[in-house]
Structure 1
Amino acid sequence: MADVLRRFTSGGPGRALLRRLGVQVPVALPRHEPGRPEFTGPVLLGGTGSGRLGPVLAGILQRAGVPVLRTGDPGDGSGAAALVFDATGLAGSAGLAQLYEFAHPLVRQLPLGGRVVIVGDVPGAAGSAAAAVAAQALEGFTRSLGKELGRGSTCQLLRAAPGATETLEAPLRFLLSRRSAYVSGQVVRVGPPVGAFPPPAGAPQAGRVVAVTGAARGIGAEVAGLLARDGAHLICLDLPSRREELERTAARIGGTALAVDVTGADAPEVIAAHLRERHAGVDVFVHNAGVTRDRTLARMSRAEWDTVLDVNLGAVERITAALLADGPGGPVLRDGGALVCTSSIGGIAGNRGQTNYGAAKAGLIGLVRALAPASAGRGVRVNAVAPGFIETDMTARMPLLVREAGRRMNSLGQAGLPVDVAEAVRWLADPANAGVTGQVLRVCGQSLIGA
């Protein structure tokens, strides 16, 4: 559904009125388009005197073909589309002044869709109380600055664990690119590689098999399309009642359709058998299917509770168990594979009338955190995305005032699009993103509640 406020503010008078009222003026977010550069422009690279990752970050930017500016260069950072600061090695509150001195004169100069990425230590691995203070302070700085930037700009924190030097590339490139347009204020922990670690490639999913549930329409169809564009063969799963739509989606991307109700008693066995017999396994499985049955708990029927818990959580548990179970030739989910679950901001912050949905989506986060360390020995990464308010058929049916509130209650002042979630799933599924597991990436424009 069209964003009326964005249309209203596309002209000068509407924009001026909202600014006088102190209302965030939404802008058209620069998103990735095939055939166009992923990055918006030069990156200014700064850091502390004690930072250990400056050369690593410079090498990543150079390999990405991004012009690198440095503090002290002529022009002092003017023209930079992004700021990257190596804050590793900071110790104590006094050292944080270096971050202030770097960012203070530059944040107002960022163009539309600018990026700020801070790279810091993991507090628990920082080595001293003073180092832990500084490392944790970076999170408050990041989340606060993300709420100040405006004009579609974003701010993120990359926490580099010991041994993460070689795995920083995929996270840094994603967060600096137009692919992360609706991700802001997030903290991403990067660790040593889980399993084999291929170099970044133009077609990261080439020769791989990917399955996506709820793929007939909306977010699932976008996810399937992006991963197919990356070279994967897609198995698109959805309800038998959506078979015709599902088959059209699969045909459009050169994939295959499997009509199955994920809550069916035999669904785990049917899916596992199909993947094993037709494709000799699967490399990436995306749990995307979901439903809502919103009602306050006092008015909610047991059927509404059971349906939401079963589709959003129970089915994921059972299917995942079938994918990870030993069988002829090993588990269906191959070594070096990836699981991506679709959680929600509702599972983090909670929403009135969604005790069932909130419980299910929070349960998915627990599943991800439990499975990640248990699966690391086979090189399998397990992560989740947590969308905020995304423009879908479901949100289009909301009452106008509720819909408008959902759109505006984030740092970017607008709803996200299905492609924003799909880009995040694409990144988490990329085998080059070998240092990120057990995490939840919020795709919510930095929701003002719970994120």
Structure 2
Amino acid sequence: MADKYLELVNSGYTKKVAKLLGLPRPPRLRRYEPGSALLPGPLLVLGASARAQQLSDELTSWGIDVRRHDAQGDKLGGILLLLDELTHPEQLGEVMLTAGGALRQLLPGGRLVSVSRPALAHDEPAVAAVRQGIDGAMRSLGREMRGGATANGVLLAEDTTVTSPSALGALRFFFSGRSAYVDGQFLTVRNDEGSLPADPERPLVGKVAVVTGAARGIGAAIARVLYRDGAQVVLVDMPAAGEALAAVANEVHGTTLQLDVTAADAGQRIIDHAVNRYGHLDLVVHNAGITRDKLLANMDQARWDSVIAVNIASQLRMNEAFLAADLPGLRVVSLASTSGIAGNRGQSNYAASKGGVIGMVRASAERFAESGGSIAAVAPGFIETEMTAKIPLGTRTVARLVLPSLMQGGLPQDVAEAIAFLGSDAAAGLNGQTLRVCGQSLVGA
């Protein structure tokens, strides 16, 4: 969404005109700024959990004003629903309706977050019913929120507790402005692994990160956010992008590696550069990607093969090199796309490659965990970049205004924030997952 339109429909006389005409009015999203409060107001905690008090104490230590069961009529920055002990759908109504009443007190940019457990095939039917019901309810609430507020959930797998490092890390991410364009999504915490950073403002201090496709767009934004969060950054892109790559590298005080990611030795060259220059490699972000859109009836072999080669085959080959090098604690985050989940007209090759990323991440999790590492993916929806600017105007307008619950396209920063979180030690328990950053939409490249 163009900033000019967003400004016009949210201020002064034009705000009144837009309201009278029934024009879409995208809210201003609460994005992260260093030093900003985690929430814009108090947090109301509803429901019951075995570790509710321990969790409340932890959240209080983060500087959050925690209220239990009663907000006393105050405006709220967030609502946290503890639903992990529910065993029957009949138990859900009381807490959800209480939350519904409290939503009227939620400030713009507020957060609604649930903590529950995933529905499994071996659960008792009533248990599976309430757990899957929470999923449907929270995704629906994501579409009911106003003023840039969002609704997301944390799922605790097996015996994982709400106070495990990655559960706390997921809560902090969902509460903060870092998750501005994440709505109606769930993160599953599969174990009690991970560790919270000593400084939440700079969770990547001491880490060495590599970003492919870093010369512009989302890749450049990723490099900037990783640097802001404390990482030393190696920026990788094609030799033809050398000038733009150097400009971003100078901005983030990083080093460059001009490299075609489809080269057979690309993974080893990345390892050699990082280890020789910095002594270790902690995070790799597979961002490099291309589109060659055509209806399949008009698709030629070159278009198909080039997209597969860059977007997924290169990642598979580089990951094998990383695993063979036995890099302790290495975290990998790959760029998928909502096109790989829902498909997109004229993008069968692109959707195949991005769906392939999601499958690769899920299947590679166990191997990366063997060395204390992890792998995850981020699936952007409609993000305002040079690539999406090539989409026909009508499609772009629909994608921005109609389908996302937040009524606007996301920014490269939104994708970068999710990647920085998934690449941190706090996200170790989220191994193998794909997080959509799409404003609760399934449209866009």
Q: What is residue 399 of structure 1 aligned with on the other side? A: 392
Which moved further from structure 2: 120-129 or 250-259?
Answer: 120-129
How far the C-alpha of 1:34 sits from its partner, in A, is 1.9
Q: Is 1:277 aligned with 2:276?
A: yes
Q: Is 1:116 aligned with 2:116?
A: no
Which moved further from structure 2: 406-415 or 14-23?
Answer: 14-23
CA separation in 2, counterparts of 1:81 and 1:314? 44
- Asked if 1 retains the 8 angstrom alpha-carbon contact of 2:155 and 2:186, the reply is yes
1:419 to 374, 399, 413: 413
Q: Is 1:143 aligned with 2:136?
A: no
Q: What is residue 266 of structure 2 aligned with on the other side? A: 267
Specify the code of the residue in structure 1 equivalent to 2:297. A
- Asked if 1 retains the 8 angstrom alpha-carbon contact of 2:169 and 2:427, the reply is yes
Write the mapping of 1:157-172 to structure 2, written as runs, cut at 5 A: 157-161=153-157, 162-164=159-161, 165-167=163-165, 168-172=167-171
Specify the code of the residue in structure 2 equivalent to 1:83. I
Specify the code of the residue in structure 2 equivalent to 1:414. Q
Report the CA distance shift for 1:126/1:66 in structure 2 as closer, same or farther (over 3 A): farther
Write the mapping of 1:79-118 to structure 2, written as runs, cut at 5 A: 79-118=75-114
Report the CA distance shift for 1:17/1:139 in structure 2 as closer, same or farther (over 3 A): farther
SS in 2 for 1:82: strand
CA separation in 1, counterparts of 2:21 and 2:136? 27
Q: What is residue 437 of structure 1 aligned with on the other side? A: 431
CA separation in 1, counterparts of 2:443 and 2:237? 32
Specify the code of the residue in structure 2 equivalent to 1:317. L
SS in 1 for 2:342: coil
1:197 to 178, 195, 207: 195
CA separation in 2, counterparts of 1:361 and 1:313? 7
CA separation in 2, counterparts of 1:36 and 1:436? 25
Which moved further from structure 2: 371-380 or 408-417?
Answer: 371-380
How far the C-alpha of 1:447 sits from its partner, in A, is 0.5
State percent identity of aligned pairs.
42
- Asked if 2 retains the 8 angstrom alpha-carbon contact of 1:53 and 1:86, the reply is no
Q: What is residue 375 of structure 1 aligned with on the other side? A: 368
SS in 2 for 1:192: coil
Structure 2 runs not aligned, ≥5 long: none
CA separation in 1, counterparts of 2:430 and 2:39? 22
Report the CA distance shift for 1:197/1:37 in structure 2 as closer, same or farther (over 3 A): closer
Report the CA distance shift for 1:37/1:11 in structure 2 as closer, same or farther (over 3 A): closer
Specify the code of the residue in structure 2 equivalent to 1:97. G
How far the C-alpha of 1:17 sits from its partner, in A, is 5.5
CA separation in 1, counterparts of 2:375 and 2:266? 21
TM-score of the pair, normalised by structure 2: 0.93
- Asked if 2 retains the 8 angstrom alpha-carbon contact of 1:42 and 1:82, the reply is yes
CA separation in 2, counterparts of 1:403 and 1:443? 17
- Asked if 2 retains the 8 angstrom alpha-carbon contact of 1:182 and 1:444, the reply is yes
Q: What is residue 155 of structure 1 aligned with on the other side? A: 151
Two-structure CA RMSD over aligned residues (Å): 2.1
SS in 2 for 1:371: helix
Specify the code of the residue in structure 2 equivalent to 1:363. G
Which moved further from structure 2: 201-210 or 380-389?
Answer: 201-210
How far the C-alpha of 1:396 sits from its partner, in A, is 2.0
How far the C-alpha of 1:208 sits from its partner, in A, is 1.6
How far the C-alpha of 1:199 sits from its partner, in A, is 4.7
Which moved further from structure 2: 82-91 or 13-22?
Answer: 13-22
2:61 to 41, 63, 74: 63
Which moved further from structure 2: 262-271 or 7-16?
Answer: 7-16
Which moved further from structure 2: 207-216 or 370-379?
Answer: 370-379
SS in 2 for 1:446: coil
CA separation in 2, counterparts of 1:68 and 1:244? 49
- Asked if 2 retains the 8 angstrom alpha-carbon contact of 1:186 and 1:442, the reply is yes
SS in 1 for 2:370: helix
CA separation in 2, counterparts of 1:156 and 1:37? 19
- Asked if 2 retains the 8 angstrom alpha-carbon contact of 1:150 and 1:411, the reply is no
SS in 2 for 1:114: strand
